[in-house]
Structure formats: structure tokens, C-alpha cells
Amino acid sequence: MSAVVAAAGLLAGARRIVVFTGAGASTDSGIPDFRSPDGLWTRYDPRLLGLRRYLADPGVRRLAWRLRRELVAIGARPNAAHAACVRLAAQGRLAGVITQNVDGLHTDAGLDPALVCELHGTGRVVVCLRCGERAPMAAALARVEAGEEDPPCRACGGILKAATVSFGERLPAGVWARAEALTEACDAFVVVGSSLVVRPAAELPARAAGRGVPLVVVNREPTPLDGVASVVCRGEAGTLLPALVDALPPAP
């Protein structure tokens, strides 16, 4: 906890904090991350979910729909880390949350959607890879439940995919530009539950540190940026982030 006290001291004067979340911010909600010892990559080959194979192989798409059903069946609810971000906003200190997560839990927790930058898209929507038609994921999953193993687009018959950024896809330009702008304008940057190995997302905390603003890393395991971080809080996001936010004095 002494790291939390040190981090609170560094953030005490900050009014434009960026919180950058990864899959580790949602493991307390029951959603597995990718790279932990019990993460999704222990059960699924990451190469299977690359865009090229998704387009080429109906077997890969059936696997992806099974995985989506499995994730929705968890019935994930926001946890204490998401709630802490809402309190940080209420304190008038939050410039925005840049999230790599596609689970929608920051807004479910009550954070203003205008404050959330979903870098890797959303798993709540499906998009047709041919005509671009978008539809709710829940409706597509209902079709899978009803027996369509790989439901096609209702508008054009094209291949449907979650509106998330797959391996091999570029980040949407507008979303990346917004994340860069938040990073350039922030007066502190807090990483929560990310291995910081997925690029270009992981460039953002490195840039913030390069600007000389405090960089705080809250993570269970070491990250490649621990060496440049101002403070590393090693441990559970659901404990440490609330403790950090609650230790901040009234906003200046």
C-alpha cells in the first residue's frame, strides 16, 4: 500500500488524468484476460482469431461465435476498479478512460460514454465485413442459439464479426487520434490491468512518460514499462485502484 500512497501523492494536483485499462481491469468481473496463467490463450490459439483466417475459414468463425457465447454467458458486471474510475470522474480529475477492453463495463458502471475511448472497439455490436451494416451482438447470438452456426448479414449475406479490432486490423483512425489527443493533454497517466505488450496501444503510456507526466502502473505482473513508471502498484486492480482514488485529496 505504500506504493498507493506514493501514487496518490503524485496525482494529488492532477486534473486531467487518463486511465488506460486492459483486460486485467475486468478479470474481477469474471472475464478472463489473454495472457494470465488461466487466460484465454491457454484455451484458444490467438492465431485463430486473426482477420485473415476469420474470413477464410468457416470453422474459425464457428469457434469465434462459441467464444462470444461463452463470454456473454458470464453475465459480467462492473467491479470495484470500474467504480473507482466513476469516482475519479466525480472528483473532476478524469480526462478520459482509454480502454483496450471490448466488454462495455466502464459505461455499465455509470461512466459518461463521452469519457470512454474504446480503442479496440466493442463486443456489444456486430458488423458486416462486406456492407458495414451494424447490429446488436445480442440479436446475432440469439440467431446462433437458434441454430445458425455462422449467421450471415441480414442485409447482404456477408460475413458478420464482432465490432472489435482483430489481429491484422488497423485501429479506427478517429479512435486512435482521440486516444493520442488525450495522452498529449493529460497531466497524469494511470495504467490498470494491462500487460502493455499490445501495440500500438502500449505506445500511449510510453508517450505520456516521455512527456514527463507521472505514469502510474497498477498491475498484477511486471510490465515492460515498469522501469519508466513513476510508481508501480503491484497487485489487484479491484483493491489498489479504489484505494488510490480514495486516497486523493479534494481536487484542487
- Total residues binding ligand NAD (CB under 6 A): 27
Counting contacts by CB under 6 A, is residue 234 touching ligand NAD? Answer: no
Coarse DSSP helix, strand, coil percentages of the chain, rounded to the nearest 5 percent:
40, 20, 40
Start-to-end CA distance of the chain, whole Å, equals: 24
Counting contacts by CB under 6 A, is residue 118 touching ligand NAD? Answer: no
Looking at beta carbons only, is 36 or 91 nearer to ligand NAD?
36
Counting contacts by CB under 6 A, is residue 34 touching ligand NAD? Answer: yes
> How far is 235 from 93, CA to CA, in rounded Å?
23
Counting contacts by CB under 6 A, is residue 96 touching ligand NAD? Answer: no
C-alpha to C-alpha distances, 123 to 67, 73, 141, 185, nearest whole angstrom: 11, 13, 11, 28
Decide: 190 and 94 in contact? Cβ < 8 Å: no
> How far is 27 from 47, CA to CA, in rounded Å?
22
- In the set 120, 124, 143, 161, the catalytic residue is 120
In the set 84, 102, 162, 179, which binds ligand NAD (CB under 6 A)?
Answer: 102
C-alpha to C-alpha distances, 160 to 50, 103, 145, 163, nearest whole angstrom: 14, 18, 15, 9
Instruction: Give the angle subtended at the CA of 220 by the CAs of 183 and 28, to the nearest 5°.
Output: 90
Looking at beta carbons only, is 123 or 214 nearer to ligand NAD?
123
Counting contacts by CB under 6 A, is residue 122 touching ligand NAD? Answer: no
Clarify whether 120 is annotated catalytic: yes
Per CB under 6 A, the segment of 26-34, 84-92, 124-132, 154-162 that binds ligand NAD is 26-34
Per CB under 6 A, the segment of 31-39, 144-152, 167-175, 224-232 that binds ligand NAD is 31-39
Binding footprint of ligand NAD on the chain (CB under 6 A): 22-24, 26-28, 31, 33-36, 39, 100-103, 120, 193-195, 198, 219-221, 236-238
